A = this chain, B = another copy of it.
Amino acid sequence: MNWGILLTTAKPDHQTEREVLKATVEYAQVAERLGYSSGWVLEHHFTRYGICPDTIALAGYLLGQTETLNIGTAVTIAPLMHPIRLAESTALLDQLSDGRFHLGLGRGSFPADFEVFKVDPTRTQDSMRQGVDLMMKAWTEERVGAEGEEYSFAPVPVYPKPHTRPHPPVYVAGESPSTVEWAAQNGFPLLLQLGQQDEETRSRVELYNQYAELAGRDPDAVEHVLVCVGHVGATREEAKKEIFGLVKWWGEEGQRDGFGIEDLRQLPNYRYHLRRIEQAALEGRDDAESWISDWLDNNPVGTAEQCAERLNEIIEASGAKHVVLAMEGSGDVEVTKKNMERFATEVFPLVKA
């Protein structure tokens, strides 16, 4: 079983940007000492939901500060960067870190990103898929050119080639069935976010497995990454209470700065996400406070034993072999480090997988 930590770089009012970034470096170092196998950084722009705007830069620094910890991105927003640039930067970090850089891709879900960087949000699916094809060619072929709708240029040799052959690990944040299908067909493991119910995760992985088999791929060879919240406390109630305020703030920040219903209605390529929001409203699940309360109940939050029990269930449902925990919910650097330690010493030994 691989354990990772999510380095959110969320910036609440009571912390400065500097404190958030310095704590992020410290968490990665502590995680390495405690035997975690990975740390994952996020890309966001123009929002305190996350103040890391460049996953490559932060990953580069963290790889330089660590020796064995893998640094992944969850996610790098693929449509915002030219795929050849992303292929180049990934290969560079892969070489420098001896393969410790793992690239997680997503399509983006914050409107200001597309507005500022002049990227068409209706084209994210095509640009990510055509982009990944180009990245694969850049990593494995001597020269790469393009004559596609999204990208076109005469063949060029791309330097450097990656150290990891045939290519560095690529993950895909897949929620919608069409992205799950595409990831499965191409053999990219998913970055899964734990939802309100394990059944949702189970169905998504089953769908992935079906598409993988149809494409002649072995689903058991794929190691998905499952992201959830983790917090150990004296009791379930106390643990939940310690992080509730910040998790709620984080959710609201994301809701305010991310695509809203009005945006999604204009984007046929985000139809699945619109339908989910509508469905939640129809079922009366659109109240932030109760949604977060229910969601936290489904995460490993509670005593060490309760956390281990939930992790066992989550792992059973998802088949995940790599669980990444968001552990900063207390909003306190020392409590977060203690939380990481308690998971490593008290919770993980109780997990069966």
Contacts and interface: CB of A to CB of B under 8 A. Distances in A.
Contact of A60 (B48, B60, B95): B60
A103 interface: no
B159 A95 contact: no
A160 B54 contact: no
A48 B157 CA distance: 9
A21 interface: yes
A163 B117 CA distance: 24
Classify the secondary structure of A's interface with B. helix
B60 A61 contact: yes
A89 B21 CA distance: 13
Interface in A127-174: 153-154, 156-161, 163
Contacts of A97: 61
A51 interface: yes
Q: So how many copies of this chain end up in the complex? A: 2
A89 B159 CA distance: 22
A168 to B, nearest CB: 13
B53 A116 contact: no
Given A46-B157, A116-B156, A117-B85, A21 B95 contact: yes
A60 B64 contact: yes
B21 A96 contact: yes
Contacts of A118: 153
A46 B93 contact: no
A112 B52 contact: no
Counting contact residues on chain A (CB < 8 A from B), the size range is 35 or more
Contacts of A105: none
A267 interface: no
Contact of A93 (B18, B61, B115, B158): B61
Contacts of A59: 57, 60
A84 interface: yes
Contacts of A25: 96
A117 B156 CA distance: 12
Interface string A38-49: 000000011110
Contact of A160 (B21, B61, B156): B21
A112 B156 contact: yes
B96 A45 contact: no
A256 B183 CA distance: 40
Contact of A57 (B21, B46, B57, B153): B57
Nearest to A24: B96
A272 to B, nearest CB: 27
A123 B43 CA distance: 29
Contacts of A63: 61, 64
21 contacts: A17-B95, A17-B161, A21-B160, A45-B84, A45-B88, A45-B159, A46-B157, A46-B158, A46-B159, A53-B89, A53-B92, A53-B158, A54-B56, A54-B85, A57-B60, A57-B93, A59-B60, A61-B64, A63-B64, A82-B117, A85-B117
